[in-house]
Amino acid sequence: MPVTDTDLANAIRALSMDAVQAANSGHPGMPMGMADVATVLFTRYLKYDPAEPKWADRDRFVLSAGHGSMLLYSLLHLTGYARPTIEDIKNFRQVGSPCAGHPENFELPGVECTTGPLGQGLAMAVGMAMAERHLNAEFGDDLVDHRTWVIAGDGCLMEGINHEAIGLAGHLKLGRLIVLWDDNKITIDGDTGLSTSEDIPARYEATGWHVVECDGHSFADISRAMDAAVKDDRPTLVRCRTIIGKGAPNKQGTAKTHGSPLGDEEVAAARKELGWDYPPFEVPGDIREVWLQNGKSRAAPHAKWQERLANSDQREEFERRMAGDLPQGFSVRDHVTRLLGEPKTVATRKASEMALEAINAALPETVGGSADLTGSNNTLTKGLGTFDRDDYGGRYVYYGIREFGMAAAMNGMALHGGVIPYGGTFLVFSDYARPAIRLSALQRARVVYVMTHDSIGLGEDGPTHQPIEHMMSLRVIPNLDTYRPADTVETAECWELAVSRKDGPSLLALSRQNLPQLRAEAEENRCARGAYRLKAAEAERRVILIASGSEVETAVEVREKLEARGIGADVVSMPCWSRFDAQPQDYRDDILPNVAPEKILRVSIEAGTTMGWERYTMVNGLRFGLDRFGASGPGARLYDHFELTAGAIEAKIVSTLG
Amino acid sequence: MPVTDTDLANAIRALSMDAVQAANSGHPGMPMGMADVATVLFTRYLKYDPAEPKWADRDRFVLSAGHGSMLLYSLLHLTGYARPTIEDIKNFRQVGSPCAGHPENFELPGVECTTGPLGQGLAMAVGMAMAERHLNAEFGDDLVDHRTWVIAGDGCLMEGINHEAIGLAGHLKLGRLIVLWDDNKITIDGDTGLSTSEDIPARYEATGWHVVECDGHSFADISRAMDAAVKDDRPTLVRCRTIIGKGAPNKQGTAKTHGSPLGDEEVAAARKELGWDYPPFEVPGDIREVWLQNGKSRAAPHAKWQERLANSDQREEFERRMAGDLPQGFSVRDHVTRLLGEPKTVATRKASEMALEAINAALPETVGGSADLTGSNNTLTKGLGTFDRDDYGGRYVYYGIREFGMAAAMNGMALHGGVIPYGGTFLVFSDYARPAIRLSALQRARVVYVMTHDSIGLGEDGPTHQPIEHMMSLRVIPNLDTYRPADTVETAECWELAVSRKDGPSLLALSRQNLPQLRAEAEENRCARGAYRLKAAEAERRVILIASGSEVETAVEVREKLEARGIGADVVSMPCWSRFDAQPQDYRDDILPNVAPEKILRVSIEAGTTMGWERYTMVNGLRFGLDRFGASGPGARLYDHFELTAGAIEAKIVSTLG
């Protein structure tokens, strides 16, 4: 008998239920419910090459409902990707297997992005679709001409970020974005009717989307809907009416199949129901062969594309961009030299704009933006052009009041490759974007967060807008480099480090208020060390003042007062903890000598929470900051109010020294 | 000439532009644009009593677009609230004035909630409307029968949380919720068309809302729309077509009026345009008088309500509930005594359910829920009933996959008063709710967050679902009490502390995996101290092991191994940092004596980031945890993999002691 689409889909179902059963953990319902839709997608629509998972012009496929990871692992395996192997799948959800509970881009090259935190996959796909159109505008149809496909569940659509993501996609008319909605009417708690009564297609249409429907278990109907999606010039939501856990006769259509193994008995019943008369993890040769052939045939366009690339005069630039390499010799040294020539007292958000003028001119791959705070974040430089539906070549995105959506879109752009995204909001609203910042770090995505108004120094907007705990709460995110530069030179240096980092995100915390230029030399990028001695004690060293950002100025003032009393004090500027912690022991010992507090008192000054600074001041040092919410008033007045002035700090240090 | 509605509205406009001008900071555009709508609301619809701002059956008014704070301050002042005075308004945005940059509920009794972080005001209003219906179901129309009104801007509607909030409100059919949308087509960056092309009314209709429109500068039309809103049994969005900065002749209708003072020249031009021929901050007597009369007349229902309350047999209970007092003698002691009688090895999420069975039975004011993880968060206890459109008396809310919306709704419920909300999700998704958790803390709202699956111990779901940095990032939020209990007894104690706290939120981090019962006595609530000595050293004390949650078990095992070697070790269980830090010095010195590490080595064990633990271990102590993302695999296997086992920890301690 010839192999049918149903056979192909049942191979996914069998692998999924077997792997979940073997792991005794996982989500069989979604892979079994969407197996038919995924089969149509991977055999007739998606453009991909299992032999070269990272081929630049491949379609991007995002499993936004990441808990259904076995769907993706099954597809990658069956279509012939080198990984996962059947052994990998047998070890689903075990330490060491690339088949993690949720798909992770750093485990398998065939996984475009890490999903599981609901809503973010679809929102990243928006960013991928933006990057695609942007690169298409620059490199043309010959090199860049692909789609972004998403499978999303009810959870992805119910999360707030869905509103931000589809609003952006509809506004930008991202017609190459197609979302396949697994409309199974089931969430973990039970029927979707428990918590929602929304008309989802109407909502999508309200934001400029094209919506089609299909029976998610009819191959012909799925194809018809996908054809309609491909033809339309708007982003498309394909409502796939499915039965969760389809094939498990006693549990399908219920929440019981969602997040638990089916159980041996029901797995056996499903084998019977599906006519799948093979042992666990075995896919019969003929079915395996047809899957492999499909994997090969979908890769046909790759060879032609290689030819076009070989003949393109943009080849070198395109390859550089997609490899994520910066242009030869890129550096901010010239810019910094100019800064030294004309020292400026400006806010670091302005210093950031000045650095960006140089960076954006040198790096055509940057794509900037702001969540409706362009003039405050100083993220727009001359000549970038607006990225919109009429000009995807523009390099500046008006993200709207969508911090989370912006951050997720930037993740998608960075993962797509070819662009380096940066985007701004107020530091306090890093909270809104935080789930995506975490995913930048986990996914090792080169995204630069420009977070201005970084302390009570912002003044009158008051406690709702004044970050207190934010720097510390961001420093604890693994693999995120956080920077709080003190002046124009440090800001430029931190920017250089941020855009040069290929394996993770960076976040710049910038002041609203003006700060003096403190650095008078710039032979090397001193921020690369994370912390460095800005001023050395002149009198006998009794104190080391450690500060970041706007408080480095305060530290310098405190030092002058102490030195005037004959108390020697170093000033250590510490823009980046993670970089400092990564320095060799001898460097760290030089900056912060391991001496008892009675001999050298360590003092931290940062207009934010003091918790955590014990790491550098030691418990017996002094920590100046703010462990309560701020207040509304002019910024300078607030520093007085909260006793974060050089005079108050000097007094406390002197009394501590005795 | 008789005082007209226009005169009343212009008083708002004048105060707003003058205050912003005097502060040289603020947002005049929104108050001037919405002055007409607000005048109609406060003179004809809103039920409030300036003499008793906290009257229980008042309508709630939420200025979701909090940057337009001068609108609210003007209204409270003009209608006769004791504060703000005209002096307060003259000191708008100055330290010490209750007229902060954004409205703050803890500064002015007339302010229902703290707004400014966009989208959250409206989402809190949903919670207020839920609380109103819930209390109405319990106490009847006589005591509880009011509406919730919101003014929201484009920012509030563009934020992701708007989707979650209106989805919930539409699903629950909260007909007493009315949102007045300031449709001025302007955001900070410019025209809304820069970033959105959404059909907002269609989106609201898609989620079950009633939508009406009006000319926001026609008093009659505004009234017509409000009448329609009041009549409909669905929540209503009133689209108010307005001109931002209306009255400022050269700047109105543009982003220039949004977030900056108009400037002296334009203020003068606006005076002319408005025919407002009075000095700054002066409101002529007749206009002032009409405003005051309106304030009085809107309070008319209050006296009748007082009569009904006096005659109600539910009076005592109603007053107790609204005062936020727990029933006399409430305690978990009986429950704890039972626990001691039959020690149980259960996950703390299960221990939480056990505690909740007792608490929900004792406290009729609790309203629980989960963001679609009911069975995982163990938040549903027997007999609560479902809160839905058919039964607002139910005490359990299926919030759907809406972590942020849930948290904001809980803030609204807590601020409404009469209920104590708690809600669950996974600890890792505290990130999704974080902006609302911050507002719980800032607003001093009694909300209890039930965050389960609190470490790599959750196992197979992998790094996307494994909290690493979360406990620490939550501990740095001012005024948030975070708890990580170790067993059934501690869990019950932490719950008791959480529901008993009137002035702020609490967060419980709970394990997915089983944990043994460690506490064998319970004469007092030992968690109230934040940390306590669970086990004292038997041999000479060389080590203090400090741990939280699931790692207290590990600490106990390590202690046994050390004692077997003749090394004395205390085990300190530390469920709550903020409570411990608030203890008297002598208690803290007793638990953690200030002795050099050579004499007593301090060791922290917590399956999360180690940053911050220096506070208790001192820099030269040892910190066991995880400063990287987790992995997918069975939980116990991950503890091995990351060397967080008693054996590995013992070895390191022994080698450190030398």
Give B374-418 pLDDT, tens digit per residue. 999 999 999 999 999 999 999 999 999 999 999 999 999 999 999
pLDDT of residue B428: 98
Report the alpha-carbon distance of residue B344 to residue B144 in Å, rounded: 43
Q: Tell me if B444 is assigned to a ligand binding site.
A: no
Report the alpha-carbon distance of residue A103 to residue A67 in Å, rounded: 8
Please indicate whether, in this complex, the C-beta atoms of A370 and B189 are within 8 angstroms of each other. Answer: yes
Burial of A285 (0-12, 13-18, 19+ CB in 10 A): exposed
Residue B462 Cα, gap to closest chain A Cα (Å): 6
Q: Which residues of B touch A627 (CB under 8 A)?
A: 478
Residue B617 Cα, gap to closest chain A Cα (Å): 9
For residue B632, give the nearest of A100, A431, A475 by CB distance: A100
Query: To the nearest whole percent, how much of chain B has pLDDT over 70?
Result: 100
Residues B112, B138, B403, B650: which is the catalytic one? Answer: B403
Question: CA A558, A467, A332 angle in degrees (round to 5)?
Answer: 70
Q: Which residues of A touch B205 (CB under 8 A)?
A: 202
Q: Tell me if A184 is assigned to a ligand binding site.
A: yes
Q: Which residues of A touch B70 (CB under 8 A)?
A: none
For residue A158, give the nearest of B104, B167, B475 by CB distance: B167
| CA distances, A179 to each of A61, A62, A342, B394 (Å) | 10, 9, 52, 36
Q: Which residues of A touch B66 (CB under 8 A)?
A: 464
Residue A142 Cα, gap to closest chain B Cα (Å): 30
Q: Which residues of A touch B612 (CB under 8 A)?
A: 472, 476, 611-612, 614-615
Gyration radius of chain B's alpha carbons: 28
Q: How many helices (H) and strands (E) does chain B have?
A: 26, 20
Q: What are phi and psi of B97, to 5 degrees?
A: -80, 140
- In chain B, the residue whose alpha carbon lies closest to the alpha carbon of A639 is B95
Report the alpha-carbon distance of residue A78 to residue A293 in Å, rounded: 10
Structure tokens at A452: 């201005």
Mutate to test the interface with B, among A399, A473, A589 (most CBs of B within 10 A): A473
- Amino acid occupying residue B548: S
Structure tokens at B465: 């679902």
pLDDT of residue B522: 85
pLDDT of residue A1: 82
B266-289 average pLDDT score:
98
Q: Tell me if A302 is assigned to a ligand binding site.
A: no
Nearest to A356 by CA among A520, A495, A150: A495
* pLDDT tens figures, B467-492: 999 999 999 999 999 999 999 999 99
Q: What are phi and psi of A495, to 5 degrees?
A: -60, -45
Confidence of residue B523 (pLDDT cuts 50, 70, 90): confident
8 Å CB contact between A603 and A653: yes
pLDDT of residue A320: 98
pLDDT of residue B597: 82
- Pure H helices in A501-584: 550-564, 577-581
8 Å CB contact between B613 and B631: no
Q: What would the DSSP string read from start to end of A110-172?
A: T--S---STTHHHHHHHHHHHHHHHHHHHHHHHH----EEEEE-HHHHHSHHHHHHHHHHHHH
Residue B350 Cα, gap to closest chain A Cα (Å): 17
Q: Which residues of B touch A159 (CB under 8 A)?
A: 160, 163-164, 401-403, 432
* pLDDT tens figures, B414-450: 999 999 999 999 999 999 999 999 999 999 999 999 9
- Return all residues near B93 (Cβ < 8 A) that are at least 6 apart: A460, A462, A632, A633, A634, B19, B23, B25, B26, B99, B100, B101
Please indicate whether, in this complex, the C-beta atoms of A478 and B399 are within 8 angstroms of each other. Answer: no
β B481-483/B506-509 pair status: parallel
8 Å CB contact between A534 and A485: no
Please indicate whether, in this complex, the C-beta atoms of A93 and B460 are within 8 angstroms of each other. Answer: yes
Structure tokens at B639: 């503890």
8 Å CB contact between A657 and A542: yes
8 Å CB contact between A449 and A436: no
Please indicate whether, in this complex, the C-beta atoms of B398 and A194 are within 8 angstroms of each other. Answer: yes
Strand partners, A214: A240
Gyration radius of chain A's alpha carbons: 28
Q: Quick check: is A553 catalytic?
A: no
| CA distances, B641 to each of A64, A94, B634, B635 (Å) | 29, 11, 10, 10
**Tokens 């006096």 — which residue?**
B310
* pLDDT tens figures, A108-164: 999 999 999 999 999 999 999 999 999 999 999 999 999 999 999 999 999 999 999
**Tokens 């095992």 — which residue?**
B557
For residue B461, give the nearest of A101, A208, A619 by CB distance: A101
Residue A622 Cα, gap to closest chain B Cα (Å): 12
Residues A112, A164, A266, A403: which is the catalytic one? Answer: A403
8 Å CB contact between B545 and B555: yes
* pLDDT tens figures, B130-154: 999 999 999 999 999 999 999 999 9
pLDDT of residue A398: 98
Report the alpha-carbon distance of residue A462 to residue B106 in Å, rounded: 13
- Amino acid occupying residue A576: C
- In chain B, the residue whose alpha carbon lies closest to the alpha carbon of A160 is B160
- In chain B, the residue whose alpha carbon lies closest to the alpha carbon of A206 is B199
CB atoms within 10 A of CB B536: 11
Mutate to test the interface with B, among A94, A174, A461 (most CBs of B within 10 A): A461
Q: Tell me if B349 is assigned to a ligand binding site.
A: yes
The mean pLDDT of chain B is 97
For residue A478, give the nearest of B439, B468, B478 by CB distance: B468
Please indicate whether, in this complex, the C-beta atoms of B370 and A189 are within 8 angstroms of each other. Answer: yes
Report the alpha-carbon distance of residue B157 to residue B212 in Å, rounded: 16
Residue B98 Cα, gap to closest chain A Cα (Å): 9
Q: Which residues of A touch B463 (CB under 8 A)?
A: 100, 104, 442
Residues with pLDDT less than 70, chain A: none
8 Å CB contact between A67 and A259: yes
Mutate to test the interface with B, among A432, A544, A594 (most CBs of B within 10 A): A432
pTM: 0.98
8 Å CB contact between A650 and A603: no
Report the alpha-carbon distance of residue B424 to residue A324 in Å, rounded: 41
B163-170 average pLDDT score:
98
- In chain A, the residue whose alpha carbon lies closest to the alpha carbon of B68 is A461
Please indicate whether, in this complex, the C-beta atoms of B632 and A195 are within 8 angstroms of each other. Answer: no
Q: Which residues of A touch B477 (CB under 8 A)?
A: 469, 473
Q: What would the DSSP string read from start to end of A229-240?
A: HHH-SS-EEEEE
Mutate to test the interface with A, among B163, B187, B444, B617 (most CBs of A within 10 A): B163
**Tokens 């608490």 — which residue?**
B359
For residue A95, give the nearest of B26, B168, B638 by CB distance: B638
For residue A633, give the nearest of B94, B439, B442 by CB distance: B94
Question: CA B206, B211, B216 angle in degrees (round to 5)?
Answer: 140
Q: Is B346 helix (H, G, I), strand (E, B) or coil?
A: strand
Please indicate whether, in this complex, the C-beta atoms of B473 and A478 are within 8 angstroms of each other. Answer: no
Question: CA A571, A573, A579 angle in degrees (round to 5)?
Answer: 140
Please indicate whether, in this complex, the C-beta atoms of B100 and A376 are within 8 angstroms of each other. Answer: no
Please indicate whether, in this complex, the C-beta atoms of A464 and B634 are within 8 angstroms of each other. Answer: no
- Return all residues near A482 (Cβ < 8 A) that are at least 6 apart: A471, A474, A475, A506, A507, A509, A576, A577, A578
Q: Is A551 helix (H, G, I), strand (E, B) or coil?
A: helix
